[in-house]
Amino acid sequence: MSSILTNTAAMAALQTLRGVNQSLKETQDHVSSGLRVGKAADNAAYWSIATTMRSDNKALSAVSDALGLGAAKVDTAYAAMDSAIDIVSEIKAKLVAASEAGVDKAKIQEEIDQLQEQLLSIAQSASFSGENWVAGEGTKSVVSTFVRDGSNAVSVKQTEYILDDSSVGNVLFGMSGGLIETSTGIIGTSNGTIGSVYKMDITNFTTSDVGLALTAVESALKAMTSAGAQLGSISTRIQLQEDFVSALSDSIDSGIGRLIDADMEEESSKLTALQTQQQLAIQSLSIANSASQNILSLFRS
């Protein structure tokens, strides 16, 4: 039965066209954005996971920057300690020369004075971003990573470096009230009658005193070498952590992509198919709408 009031064929064709247009719009959105899940309505679970992972990745990016800053601090401290080791080695050589009979110790002391002042200059200059790791006390730290555990609790982990201003510690000098304290630290702590490496004056030293000074300097070199090794190991750990954070960030990006990125080959095929379906649906609607005109022709004489 045909009716001029209710065109069921046109209604069906229109419904089909609406469905095709909706699917076509979604596919075009996927193609233009490159995302299969661009908003929560597309897939609430995947969108939630991807949003959290993106947030974590931004935190990891900040960790990477912090690691770079920490590496600069450690490298500055290591460069200072390495230079100080060279200077103290020079002092050691001067003491060996001073042990020779008949040597003018006052002249040698003049050279040692300059080396001692250079040690202080190194300690004063070894500051990066307001932190000095070769002159001071307390605990220094660098950010190492951002962690989300199994219960979704987040935390920032740090690598700590405890400054020890004793004669067998890991700093050249201590610090008091924000100022370098030249009576503490590896080269500032006194070694009895011969004084500290920084303040010793060999002008009136006996041969025995020179021997004690050599022993003190050798002990200082041992402590400085140990401190340099500590700094080197931290620097290596930071580099390894930087590499890991970079790889972890790439892995998270890849994981996010697997959840929400559109398969462009599939979307391209769907787009072509839907465009064809749209054309057919339009043609079907046109045919259905022309049915009433066919009914009108029955009443013509």
pLDDT tens, 57-98? 898 888 888 899 999 999 999 999 999 999 999 999 999 999
Model confidence band, residue 281 (pLDDT cutoffs 50, 70, 90): confident
Residue type at 31 in one-letter notation: V
Tens digits of per-residue pLDDT, 34-59?
Answer: 888 888 888 899 899 999 889 888 98
Token pair 């006052």 is found at: 106
CATH of domain 44-260: 1.20.1330.10
**Element spanning 38, H or E:** none
Q: pLDDT tens across 204-243, in order?
A: 999 999 999 999 999 999 999 999 999 999 999 889 888 9
Residue 263: strand, helix, or coil: coil
CB 202 within 8 A of CB 209: yes
DSSP 154: E
Q: What is the mean pLDDT of the chain?
A: 88
* The two structure tokens encoding residue 150: 């199994």
How are beta strands 154-163 and 131-132 bridged, if at all?
A: unpaired
Residue whose entry in the numeric block shows the structure tokens 């998270």: 252
**CA 277 from chain center: how many Å?**
51
Residue 120 CA to residue 263 CA, distance in Å, equals: 63
Angstrom distance (rounded) from CA 90 to CA 109: 12
At residue 112 the predicted structure's pLDDT band, cuts being 50, 70 and 90, is very high
* Mean pLDDT score, 122-149: 89
Residue-range domain boundaries for the chain: 44-260
pTM: 0.76
